[in-house]
A and B are shown apart, each in its own frame.
Chain A
Amino acid sequence: MLERILKEQRRELLQQWTAQLAQVATGGRISGEELEAQAAELLKYLDEALQTGSADDINQPAWNPARGFLEDLSRKRVLAGFSSDETATFLFSLKRPLFGALRAAAGKDADKLADEIWKATALLDKLGLYTVKAFQRTREEVIGRQQQELLELSTPVVRLWDGILALPLIGTLDSARTQVVMESLLQRLVDDEAQVAIIDITGVPTVDTLVAQHLMKAATAIRLMGAECIISGIRPQIAQTIVHLGVDLGGVTTKATIADALSTALRMTGRTISK
């Protein structure tokens, strides 16, 4: 019955579904025409899928176009700033017109109607869940990409002098960030043929054992590359913490301010400063 309705009453279904969709506010993120086009497309895919596949299993190959369409739809909704329930509502609002059509077709046969409605609702729920899952996946991709972009933005390597680079760190330092920071700093060392890298931690609020370890790792990697490392911006409080934690900063030059670090770096590279 479901199959026949999708085949023969598609136009009526679309009309009623579009009317349903029009009642939901979209805040101008999508036009009525676009919504209608998407609804029409999905109805077409549902019809096609039900002709060769079964409504019980939407993972069958027959459902490939329908699933592909829903994934694409979720992606567009994510990028347009819709929420996951708004996206699912698009699909669920087909229930009312569809159930109405089923009732008209079943006539007085209540058992038959119950069966058909159950079948239709199970199918739409499955497709709805699939859509929400695709929506979440896309959103996580977007978040991951933004995090990556943020990481790169937050690690500016600046050239203080010929052969002297500085990396002013701001915010917390976890292992993922350390890796990105180190990678960009080490690459700049190669590109600039720099001899000294100054890591300034004035903007790092807390230094615990883990942060200290990350700093030591960065310093070691810099040495392995063949450059010198100076850590600057060590406030008295942080110096105390480092000593209390028993962290060994052995072999790494540390300075209170970036100015001290620069003057040390200039000396390291064989320059003298005179007034």
Chain B
Amino acid sequence: MDRIPILRMGEFLLVTIQVDMQDRLAMRLQDDLTEMVQRHRSRGVLIDISGLDMVDSFIGRMLSDISGISRILGAESVVVGMRPAVAITLVELGLNLPGVATALNVERGIELLRKRIDTGMSRANSDPG
């Protein structure tokens, strides 16, 4: 596999990472997502990592970057489905992924995206500047 498929669901994009990724594949995903968000004017990005049995600093950085880039492009992003062992290991590694929104599973992730987009809009509407 040379790229990770990105699924479009209305105004959201869904990425399900199921393979033990090579670094290059992760970089490519980042590029593809950025391009898709821009092309489809997506409002939210869901990254499902329930298939990942480990997240190291490289993948951690990718998740942070995707979240940062999405925000700049006007989209919210949520990382969903992190396994307990992965969460414990990440904390021990020293990676707290600040600024990355998380949810237990895809359904919860979609709820969270909707909520964040709504509050983001109300904030924008009430902003007189």
Taking Cβ atoms with an 8 Å cutoff, the residues of A that contact B are 179, 182-183, 186-187, 189-190, 193-195, 217, 220-227
Q: Which of B71-129 contact A (CB under 8 A)?
A: 78-80, 82-85, 87-88, 90-92, 96-97, 102-105, 108-109, 112
Q: Which of B82, B85, B88, B96 contacts A226 (CB 8 A)?
A: B82
Q: Is the CB of A182 within 8 A of B88?
A: yes
Q: Is the CB of A193 within 8 A of B105?
A: yes
Provide the bound-state CA to CA distance between A44 and B103, in Å.
Answer: 65
Provide the bound-state CA to CA distance between A80 and B124, in Å.
Answer: 73
Residues of A within 8 A of B78 (CB): 226
Q: Is the CB of A186 within 8 A of B87?
A: yes
A225-B87 contact given A217-B92, A220-B96, CB 8 Å threshold: yes
Residue of A nearest to B105 (CB): A193
A225-B82 contact given A193-B104, A193-B108, CB 8 Å threshold: yes
Provide the bound-state CA to CA distance between A189 and B105, in Å.
Answer: 11
Q: Is the CB of B87 within 8 A of A221?
A: yes
Residue of A nearest to B84 (CB): A186
Q: Is the CB of A189 within 8 A of B104?
A: yes
Q: Which of A179, A187, A193, A223 contacts B102 (CB 8 A)?
A: A223
A126 CB to closest chain B CB, in angstroms?
Answer: 44
Interface residues of A: mostly helix, strand, loop or mixed?
Answer: helix
Q: Which 4 A-B pairs have the closest CB atoms?
A: A186-B84, A226-B103, A226-B102, A221-B87
Residues of B within 8 A of A220 (CB): 91, 96
Provide the bound-state CA to CA distance between A89 and B96, in Å.
Answer: 57
Q: Is the CB of A187 within 8 A of B84?
A: yes
Provide the bound-state CA to CA distance between A220 and B90, in Å.
Answer: 9
Q: Give chain B's interface residue range (CB within 8 Å of chain A).
A: 20 to 34
Residues of A within 8 A of B92 (CB): 217
A58 CB to closest chain B CB, in angstroms?
Answer: 43
Provide the bound-state CA to CA distance between A32 and B8, in Å.
Answer: 77
Residues of B within 8 A of A227 (CB): 104
Residues of A within 8 A of B97 (CB): 224
Residue of B nearest to A192 (CB): B104
Q: Is the CB of B84 within 8 A of A179?
A: no
Provide the bound-state CA to CA distance between A221 and B55, in Å.
Answer: 13
B101 CB to closest chain A CB, in angstroms?
Answer: 8
Residues of A within 8 A of B83 (CB): 190
A258 CB to closest chain B CB, in angstroms?
Answer: 23
The contact sample of 20 A-B pairs, CB cut-off 8 A, is: A179-B88, A183-B84, A186-B88, A187-B84, A189-B84, A193-B105, A194-B104, A195-B108, A217-B91, A217-B92, A220-B96, A221-B87, A221-B90, A223-B96, A224-B97, A224-B102, A225-B84, A226-B103, A226-B105, A226-B112
Residues of B within 8 A of A182 (CB): 84, 88
B95 CB to closest chain A CB, in angstroms?
Answer: 9
Q: Is the CB of A226 within 8 A of B104?
A: yes
Residue of A nearest to B85 (CB): A183
A212 CB to closest chain B CB, in angstroms?
Answer: 14
B47 CB to closest chain A CB, in angstroms?
Answer: 12
Provide the bound-state CA to CA distance between A228 and B112, in Å.
Answer: 13
Provide the bound-state CA to CA distance between A183 and B105, in Å.
Answer: 18
B108 CB to closest chain A CB, in angstroms?
Answer: 6
Residue of B nearest to A216 (CB): B91
Residues of B within 8 A of A189 (CB): 84, 104
Provide the bound-state CA to CA distance between A189 and B88, in Å.
Answer: 13
Interface centre among A194, A224, A227 (most CB of B within 10 A): A224
Residue of B nearest to A223 (CB): B102
Provide the bound-state CA to CA distance between A224 and B87, in Å.
Answer: 6
Residue of A nearest to B112 (CB): A226
Q: Is the CB of B91 within 8 A of A224?
A: yes
Residue of B nearest to A227 (CB): B104
